[in-house]
Amino acid sequence: MPTDLRELLERTAASPTTVVDPAEVASRSRRRTRQRRGGAALTGVALVALLAVVAWPGVVPGDGLVIEDRAADQPDVPVLDLPEGWVQVQVGAAVFGIPGELEVVEVDADDPLPCPNAGYRAYLATESYPVATHDEAGREYACNLAGNTAPQLFAAPLTAVPAAHLGDDAAWHPLPIGDLAGEWRLESPADTSTGPDDDGEDVADHGFADRTAWYRVPAVDLHLRFVTTEGDVDLVEAILATITPIGTAATGAPDDEPDEPTGTGRRGATGLDLPEGWTQVTIGDATFGVPTDVGTREFELDILELAPTEGPPCHNGLDRVRAYLAPDGYPTGVVQDRDPGGVPHTFGELVGFCRVPLATYTSLLAAPLGTVPVSVREQQYRDSQAPEPVRTAVTLPGGLRGERTAVGDHLVTYALPQVDLWLEFHDPQREPELVDRVLATITSPRPLEDVSEPDEPDAGGDDGPAQDLGSPGVIWVMPGADVRRFETPGSSLPPEGRIIRDQDELDAVWHGAGAGGSTDDERPVPSLRDDEVALLASFAYSTDGSCRGEVELTAVEFDGGTVTLVHEPSLIEPCVTPGGAWTVAALIPADTRHLADVVRVVAVERR
Amino acid sequence: MTGDGTDATFDAFCVAAYPRLVAALGHVVGDRAVAEELAQESLVRAHQRWRRVSQLDSPLGWAVHVGTNLARSHLRRRVLARRVDRQLTADAPTAHLDPDAAEAVAVRAAMAALSLPQREAVVLRFVVGLTAVEAGRVLGIEPAAVRARTHRALGVLRGRLAIDEPDDAGSTERRRHREDEEVRRAH
């Protein structure tokens, strides 16, 4: 007897075995916050609770946590050898030391900077930058400047600081900080005018202009701002000297756990000979190496972080780490929860909040090729001012063949269908050698498919029974060779392409194949010109009742010509009929010999 | 603020949401114990961001999404990986689970046949009671994508469960609107 799904799910839902205590949840939340900011090294720090900010009492790792905190995923935090009385703090991807006499104050994103009256103070915004309104921030900042003669330190993750607050139009100067590349600048007198203070006096007149120094260290996602007196220069330099990336000088992992850096993706079976400090990852069917000196992490969905699948890729998180790995699928989105507004936005509004990546080093995003939306592969959402993509066929050192697409100097992508791998290098010009080194490490765990010649001269017209689509399959069709079939390892039935050369045949096949999808046989048969051929690509679906395939058909320009799609990609709906076959079509100039550069039909199994 | 320093609105949300979170996440991960842990963790994260979360159309939907993401991105690779994966496998032992056995096991097995995004869509729509538009806001995707996920999920579920739930993908706007309204009224 059929039943309502809602009722069924309600009837069979799990019931909690315990009653939740909101106070305990809140308490755990606060402990979690403190643990993230503190660490064992902070035990004994003088505690000061001011307003709604939190000081650190010292935390027993894991105490009272519901489950492991995300911080537990991080590489072991190094314990610094600090001067007597200093404490270790963590902001961004760095740890550093500060004098113990500094009052340590956490600053929440929703709160304006508190206004101290006297004394040393270190404001730490470990997750985000305060998002007080301009007026509030100006008033509070003015308060800080006017009310203190003691040094103030403000620290936040660099990527959390809005570009407007960084003053990118000001002159930044290179500054080596240990082994890290940093930059610094002094706030110009004009910049320091934050509006009148409570007495109606502009704070710039207080003469602090030349004593506000800004530092940014992109490699460890750290932004520091010092408001100092002249005698504190040594203190600033001493603090800077302690900046250490998380993940270096780390203590060993427990014996019962694999010593695996955070977010290395799936471990490859192939042992690669990688440079020191690199780690081996597996994405798609490829194994390759990526550097871990800055940071490598699997792309994680924290909270509402991804935009629509077909949305414009806005990689405003790429500056946080050097390599983003997405073994389970291409992350097309933007970080919604970290914009200054703090409220998740709809897609349309979201675009306006994308932060500009800090192009201070080359970033890599890797994902299985089969999961990358067409809009991303074809750079359809690139900025209107961006140069036209330039596509070239490439053969990598290991023999892999694919397509390289460059969009100006700031983006280079590699589509490697033989190993189902997609690589995006953002700002490759920063570290061109990094790109070459990563590409040189790419290997396939199995013998490569030779895509240069067709396996079978003509696979068309064989309407066999529908079979499981299996793993993502990609076909590259070349009319000059009639048809090209490329079977992705693991796929029991790859997509199948067929070239139709005359109108009569097309008419017959069109109606017979149910072109356009089994739910829509009413579309008119395309008119085939003498100088065109038609490509029909069929996809068989699972017969076991599940429907796991999606198809996308796209075209790119070639030799000055353009492939005409019979159906716009947007009309190609995903898998509609279990056990059925589905056909998409394109009209292609008949003399095309290198259609691999022209039409790409991808069947993707979405999981 | 309450006497213990918590926000009264959060307290109310916490108490009301927890059972529904466990129910929803239980369908996502197929394990009540894991669902309880995920639900608690989701509430902790909601508390940390309560000022913003409380302004959302569906804080519960947000919490379900957080819990699902945790199941996907965090727990899976950590301590609970094997436990969750075992539960997500259709042929996994289920005898230790709820005593209402047959029906619950069938639902669990059917849900396990869905991809995680599909499972999440089903839960948001049919357990939390969000419309496609609302679920889309929670997930950060277009309503059409929610409908597509739901459509595919229902296709799988129909093959495994005797349900008569109308499909909503591929329908006209009027049907979609009506379906959304039905979901809204039902909750």
Q: Which residues of A touch B45 (CB under 8 A)?
A: 29, 303
Question: Confidence class of residue B92 from pLDDT cuts 50, 70 and 90?
Answer: very low
Look at residue A425 and tell me whether its pLDDT is greater than 50: yes
Q: Tell me the C-alpha to C-alpha distance, in Å, between residue A265 and each of A92, A221, A261, A491, B70.
A: 22, 22, 10, 23, 16
CA distance A208 to A193: 10
B64 touches A at CB < 8 Å: no
Q: Which range scores top for mean pLDDT: A287-296, A309-318, B87-96?
A: A287-296
Closest residue in B to A549 (Cα–Cα) = B152
Interface test with chain B among A29, A266, A550, A577, by most B beta carbons within 10 Å: A29
Contact B62 A16 (CB under 8 A): no
pLDDT at B18 (0 to 100): 94
Contact A16 B5 (CB under 8 A): no
Contact A14 B22 (CB under 8 A): yes
Sign of CA dihedral A122, A127, A132, A133: positive
Contact B49 A344 (CB under 8 A): no
Q: Tell me the C-alpha to C-alpha distance, in Å, between residue A392 and each of A366, A402, A596, B22.
A: 19, 9, 11, 51
User: In Å, how far from its chain's centre is CA A529?
Assistant: 44
What distance in Å separates residue A4's CA from the closest CA in chain B? 6
The model's pLDDT over A303-320, given as tens digits with 9 standing for 90+, comes to: 223 333 333 344 434 444
CA distance A485 to A468: 17
Q: Tell me the C-alpha to C-alpha distance, in Å, between residue A68 and each of A28, A92, A515, B78.
A: 12, 19, 52, 9
Contact A607 B115 (CB under 8 A): yes
pLDDT at A227 (0 to 100): 72
CB atoms within 10 A of CB B129: 19
User: Rounded mean pLDDT of B79-104?
Assistant: 48
Question: Confidence class of residue B16 from pLDDT cuts 50, 70 and 90?
Answer: very high
Q: Which residues of A touch B126 (CB under 8 A)?
A: 5-6, 9
Interface of B with A in 88-127 (CB under 8 A): 98, 100, 103-104, 107-108, 113, 115-117, 122-123, 126-127
Q: Which of A218, A203, A230 is nearest to A166 (CA)?
A: A218
Greater model confidence, A244 or A131: A244
A23, A310, A547 ranked by CB distance to B155: nearest: A547
Which value does ipTM take for this structure?
Answer: 0.82
| pTM > 0.90 | no
Q: Which residues of B touch A72 (CB under 8 A)?
A: 78
B1 touches A at CB < 8 Å: no
| Token reading at A567 | 């159906």
% of chain A beyond a pLDDT of 70: 33
Amino acid at A87: V
Q: Which residues of B touch A110 (CB under 8 A)?
A: 51-52
Contact A16 B19 (CB under 8 A): yes
The model's pLDDT over A83-98, given as tens digits with 9 standing for 90+, comes to: 766 777 888 788 888 8
A8, A12, A309 ranked by CB distance to B145: nearest: A309
| Token reading at B153 | 């999920």
pLDDT at A403 (0 to 100): 82
The model's pLDDT over A39-85, given as tens digits with 9 standing for 90+, comes to: 322 222 222 221 112 222 222 222 222 222 223 233 356 777 777 66
Q: Which residues of B touch A308 (CB under 8 A)?
A: 140-142, 145
Contact B48 A67 (CB under 8 A): no
pLDDT at B181 (0 to 100): 61
Interface test with chain A among B37, B42, B47, by most A beta carbons within 10 Å: B47
Q: What is the DSSP letter of A230?
A: G
CA distance A97 to A242: 6
Look at residue B112 and tell me whether its pLDDT is greater than 80: yes
What distance in Å separates residue B176's CA from the closest CA in chain A? 17
Q: What is the DSSP letter of A196?
A: B
Contact B66 A66 (CB under 8 A): no
Q: Which range scores top for mean pLDDT: A361-365, A596-600, B131-135?
A: B131-135
**Pairs of CB atoms within 8 A across A/B:** 201
pLDDT at A149 (0 to 100): 53
Please report where in the chains the tokens 């329908």 appear, as a residue.
Answer: B171
Q: Is A59 exposed, middle or buried (0-12, 13-18, 19+ CB in 10 A)?
A: buried
Contact (Cβ atoms closer than 8 angstroms) between residue A483 and residue A477: yes
Q: What is the DSSP letter of A291?
A: E
| Radius of gyration of chain B, Cα coordinates, nearest whole angstrom | 17
Q: How far apart are the first and last CA of chain A?
A: 30
Question: Confidence class of residue B123 from pLDDT cuts 50, 70 and 90?
Answer: very high
pLDDT at A84 (0 to 100): 67
